[in-house]
Structure 1
């Protein structure tokens, strides 16, 4: 039987089988490097929310703050004093927003389940954070382009997500085992995005990248 053909949800190019485990199939795009789980295996909204509700992150928990410091520290080093930003997909405990607010930056929240504020996507920001978010996106092209449009010239998009290394490592990668993770980015993917947006790309850690919008 001829395998099903799936288009990449980021760049729309054809994709090819990459990995199959006992629960799902994963497809790879040679153009942008994204590995994705086709919609056939996506959870419905109720099941997805149920998994998110199991997370026990606390705004003041020191370990969680140390984890988030991997993105807050490089971002703070690049921001002008009193910047205004959006924590996209902040979850039920917006610790990152609190950490940035403690440094005199103003941070709005938007999360479709816990802090819905779609109006936040109708204005411009000095920075946007997306920590452990992009791997959940079923339509990464739509969502990321929308975030990029919300950035002011010279603004920063800070993304935290674990990155695909190679096909062999992917086979046993724990990160793919979370059923809410459906889009997996690599260095190639972020390089493709930077070229698409004519952005400055900085890979600042094993799971953190920063993209700066060109100043006008």
Structure 2
């Protein structure tokens, strides 16, 4: 198995919950073996079990690091994209309620191909990158959709070696197929020519 992100050699990392994972020797990403990927139908069914109510305060609080950062750095005159917006695009809802212009794209719930033919000042990608079957293609696309000096704001849980992967709750979702470490994020920054990378416990930001 080669790494889905950088194409390099991987080594067996874990077999748990009847799924196998491999770790890249180059970019340090951890990928589920493709033989365990869900079908499109099963994947969509899984997403539809999520309670993505845009009026839910807990859901709003969860995405607030991205929403607040966008409001701090951009105004209503700027153009944004909610990439992987899901069945309940809460980031879009919160920003539109304050007058922001933001489009949505989701391969299952809003396959709006026109949204991928434009460019944006900022892109929100909240709890999405761990679902990428082909992260090499997705990050290339996301970079191309950003205007110069634009920002890609991501939210996911990073892995590090202090975590016991076999008991890590985040890998139990069968739609979570690729996991990132800080080294992986730095590889993405360099490969796709982002000028800056900021990592906090609540937000990952790539600047073009």
Unaligned runs of 5+ in 1: 1-5
Q: What is the aligned counterpart of 2:170 among 175, 178, 200?
A: 175
Q: Deviations over 1:49-104 (max 9, x none)?
A: 11111011111111110001022222322224421111011011111011122333
Pairs aligned (count): 207
Paired residue for 1:3? none
Matched, 1:37 2:39: no
Aligned to 2:197: 201
* Kept in 2: contact 1:159–1:208 (CA 8 A): yes
Q: Tell me, yes or no, if the aligned pair for 1:121 and 1:147 is still in contact at 8 Å.
A: no
- TM-score, normalised by the number of residues in structure 2: 0.95
Between 46-55 and 192-201, the greater mean CA deviation after superposition: 192-201
The SS at the match of 2:61 is helix
CA contact (8 A) 2:197 2:204 kept: yes
Q: Deviations over 1:136-194 (max 9, x none)?
A: 11001001111110100010101111111127522211000000100111111111111
Report if the CA contact (8 A) 1:155-1:212 is conserved: yes
Residue 161 and residue 168 in structure 1: after superposition, are their counterparts in 2 closer, same or farther (change >3 A)?
closer
Structure 2 spans left out of the alignment, 5+ residues: none
CA distance in 2, matches of 1:132, 1:74: 16
Rounded Cα–Cα distance in structure 2 between residues aligned with 1:193 and 1:80: 27
Query: Aligned pair 1:59/2:61, yes or no?
Result: no
**Cα RMSD between the aligned structures?**
1.3
Q: Say whether the 8 Å CA contact 1:110–1:116 is kept in structure 2.
A: yes
Q: Distance in 2 between matches of 1:88 and 1:116?
A: 10
Q: Distance in 2 between matches of 1:94 and 1:191?
A: 28
Q: Distance in 2 between matches of 1:156 and 1:22?
A: 36
CA distance in 1, matches of 2:131, 2:202: 15
**Contact 1:27–1:38 under 8 Å retained in 2:** yes
Report the equivalent of 1:131: 126
Runs of 4+ in 1 over 4 A off after TM superposition: none
